[in-house]
Amino acid sequence: MDFELNDDQQAYIASARAFSENELAPHAAQWDADSVFAKEALRAAGGLGFMGMYTPEAAGGLGMGRLDASLIVEELAKGCTTTAAFLTIHNMATAMIGKYCQQAIVDEWCPDLVAGEKLASYCLTEPGAGSDAGSLRTSAQLEGDAYLVNGSKVFISGAGETEVLVVMTRTGDVGPKGITALMIPADAEGVQYGKKEHKMGWNAQPTRMITFDNVRVPVSQRLGEEGQGFAIAMEGLDGGRINIATCSVGTAQRAIQDATSYVLERNQFDTPIADFQNTQFKLADMLTELVAARQMIRLAASKLDNKDPQATTYCAMAKRFATDVGFTVCNDSLQLLGGYGYIKEYPMERYVRDTRVHQILEGTNEIMRVIVGRKLLMDGALEVIQ
């Protein structure tokens, strides 16, 4: 078992780190303060291939595995958590289109999506169906050669600013088997956008409700077969859980770096804070848990890449652990800065605000525990961990 990164992976990290330091970090605070959606930065990321990381090569993407993509996302999150997180959502939706849509749709949309010239939103969550994706109610009624879509989606990242929507709809009976995925242009007649939500964090990307009122969607814009939507959604969620966990780890790494610099410079009682045993113990625990979270993410990503039958369980464990650790590390880093950590002149409070939602996204951490617990009780501990 080799834990070392190969030359290609080191190159991915170097490229992403340079982009993060030059194009994201210098602007992140202003984007947050002014609620700016960094479309120019996303377009620039497209020029490096970061907007189509695991979109199939046949659709113009890089066809990366989840492990390699996570190395890039971690570096991007160090520069701007919110922009990196949206980039992963766009990647998920674009990969779904590239993998499951008819060739004519792929040819029409994927070049611009992969280049970052157009952006995609992913529409799963509903007012009455959050973590329980199988109970969604947005309907798609087949009439001739098109579906009529009615219903609402909430908490949709990028809504109102993106060009295409990947929407999970109900075409059949209650339950997972009745769900179908559709690709809908964001400006289609009958698509309506709610107010821009005022959030605790993630201010550098818009979040809105989307309502579908008799939106006509040609059958040619379906992803896969009718009834395949839940499987497509779950496939996306496994990777999405790795992505959001990685965003937590990247941000937490940056928080530790900032906190370490601060305690080396700040004196109390004529002594650098870094010399206090309590500070050293705190930093040691923070770093240890962060490294553990990173390795758990990479293990889960590797299992997903290798189509391991336990991949979903490992993705759930990694998401739960890494997002909890990431938030705690950011919060503890803020504490080390004392009052300075609480003011917006320093980025620490933004790290805390931006990572808090990661414990909710892509299935709450309570749902992650349900997934792991059920698998454990069904198959037994030895089956899960082997």
Active-site residue flag, 23: no
Is 102 domain-assigned?
A: yes
User: Can you name the residues that pair with 181 across neighbouring β-strands?
Assistant: 168, 223
Domain-located, residue 325: yes
Q: Which long-range contacts (CB under 8 A, 24 or more apart) does 32-36 make?
A: 32/82, 32/203, 32/204, 32/350, 32/354, 33/203, 33/344, 35/196, 35/203, 35/204, 35/206, 36/204
SS3 216: strand
Find out whether 357 and 197 touch, Cβ atoms under 8 Å: no
**Among 312, 325, 331, residue whose Cα is nearest residue 371:** 312
Asked which of 168, 196, 226 is the last residue of a domain, the reply is 226
User: At which of 191, 210, 226 does a domain end?
Assistant: 226
Domain assignment present for residue 106? The answer is yes
- pLDDT tens figures, 11-24: 999 999 999 999 99
Confirm whether 270 is domain-assigned. yes
Domain assignment of residue 2, yes or no: no
243 shares a domain with 380 = yes
CATH number at residue 177: 2.40.110.10
Q: Does 1 reside within a domain?
A: no
Distance CA 53, CA 95 (A): 8
DSSP state of 126: B
CATH number at residue 84: 1.10.540.10
Domain shared by 127 and 245, yes or no: no
**First CA to last CA across the chain, in angstroms?**
14
| pLDDT over 80 (residue 130) | no
For residues 103 and 178, membership in a common domain is answered with no
Mean pLDDT of the chain: 94
Of 192, 193, 223, 207, residue with least CA distance to 109: 223
Q: Are residues 236 and 326 in the same domain?
A: yes
Q: How many domains does the chain have?
A: 3
Unique residue bearing structure tokens 């997972």: 176
Q: Are residues 377 and 234 in the same domain?
A: yes
The pLDDT, as a whole number, for residue 386 is 62
For residue 266, the model assigns a pLDDT of 84
CATH code: domain of residue 363: 1.20.140.10
Which of 194, 226, 258 lies at the terminal end of a domain, its last residue? 226
Rounded Cα gap, residues 62 and 71, in angstroms: 14
Determine the average pLDDT of the residues in 162-179.
92
d(CA 347, CA 352): 9
Clarify whether residues 99 and 162 are in a common domain.
no
Virtual torsion, Cα 39, 131, 355, 295, nearest 10 deg: -100
Determine the pLDDT at residue 381. 67
Other C-beta atoms lying within 10 Å of the C-beta of residue 150: 17
Q: Round to whole Å and give the CA distance between 306 and 315.
A: 13
Q: Structure pTM? A: 0.94
| Token pair in block for residue 252 | 């937490």
23, 289, 349, 362: which one is catalytic? 362
Q: Are residues 113 and 138 in the same domain?
A: no
Residue 82 falls inside a structural domain: yes
Question: Whole domain around residue 155: which residue ranges?
Answer: 121-226
Domain identity same for 355 and 240: yes
Residue 151, amino acid: G
CA angle at residue 223 from 222 to 228, to 5 degrees?
A: 110
Q: What percent of the chain has pLDDT over 70?
A: 97
Alpha-carbon distance of 303 to 297, in angstroms, equals 10
Q: What is the pLDDT of residue 176?
A: 84
Kindly state whether residues 102 and 139 are assigned to the same domain: no
CA distance 333 to 259: 5
Q: Please state the rounded mean pLDDT for residues 116-130.
A: 91
Q: How many whole angstroms separate alpha carbon 386 and alpha carbon 381?
A: 9
Whether 59 and 148 map to the same domain: the answer is no
Do 241 and 364 sit in the same domain of this protein? yes
Same domain, 111 and 136: no
